[in-house]
Amino acid sequence: MLNVRSVTGDTRERIHEAGLALFHERGYTGTTVRELAEACGLTAGSLYNHYASKDDLLFAIVDRVHDRADAVLAGALRSAGAGPEAQLEALASAFTAFHIARPQATRVANRDYIYLPPAQRESVVRRRRRVRALFADVLRQGEREGRFSFAVLGSEDAVEAASMAILNMAVWVAEWFDPSGPRTAQDTAALHGRLALRIARG
């Protein structure tokens, strides 16, 4: 019984990974459940023993990557201590490393979540907003403590634009970062941490 469950879990996991690869490459609407099945050595009908629908698989993928992102960001914040500069650098660096390490899952999560049915999409939108708020809060706290400066920029609530700039820098890094290139992922993550400080510190 337990053994059966673990085999089942493996199949479900294999489908999950096939979804990562195929959604990443062809997009959600561009991927066929028969392609997903073939990538797992299964028949289309068999997928429905493991996921209720194609939507369901997409949500599983997007939800898991959000779980991991939350964990990574919480860990970065915890190990950074109290200073807003250390916190921002840790957040930007860890988020960048996260996106470099999981280019498939993060691209799918950021590009294809719009195809989720309304209820599940709302759930994802809420999680995305929470990540935005995490960065914006650190920026605002840093401004309050006089370490960051946004009022100088002359635009009201420049914090939102600045945090989106930092977020987009991290979120889309895998679209240009070349794992076989000269730079390592750690280098690039550290570099993004410093660029985030440039954005905030002025």
What's the chain's Rg over C-alpha atoms?
19
Calpha distance 29→43 (Å, rounded):
19
Q: Which letter does DSSP use for residue 23 in this model? A: H
Instruction: List the x/- string, 3-22, binding to a copy of itself by CB under 8 A.
Output: --------------------
Single out the residue of 8, 21, 95, 96 nearest to residue 61, CA to CA: 21
Among positions 83, 115, 121, 140, the unique one binding a copy of itself when judged by CB under 8 A: 115
Q: How many other CB atoms sit within 10 Å of the CB of residue 163?
A: 26
Which region, judged by CB under 7 A, interacts with DNA, from 35-43, 62-70, 102-110, 135-143?
A: 35-43
Is residue 119 part of the contact set for DNA (CB under 7 A)?
no
Q: Interface residues for DNA in 78-97 (CB under 7 A)?
A: none
Instruction: List the x/- string, 181-200, binding to a copy of itself by CB under 8 A.
Output: -xx---xx-xxx-xx--xx-
Is residue 106 part of the contact set for a copy of itself (CB under 8 A)?
no
165: amino acid identity, one letter: A
2: amino acid identity, one letter: L
Residues sharing a CB contact under 8 Å with residue 26, sequence separation 6 or more, in sequence order:
35
Residues that bind a copy of itself (CB under 8 A): 26-27, 29-30, 111, 114-115, 153-158, 160-162, 164-165, 168-169, 171-173, 176, 182-183, 187-188, 190-192, 194-195, 198-199, 201-202
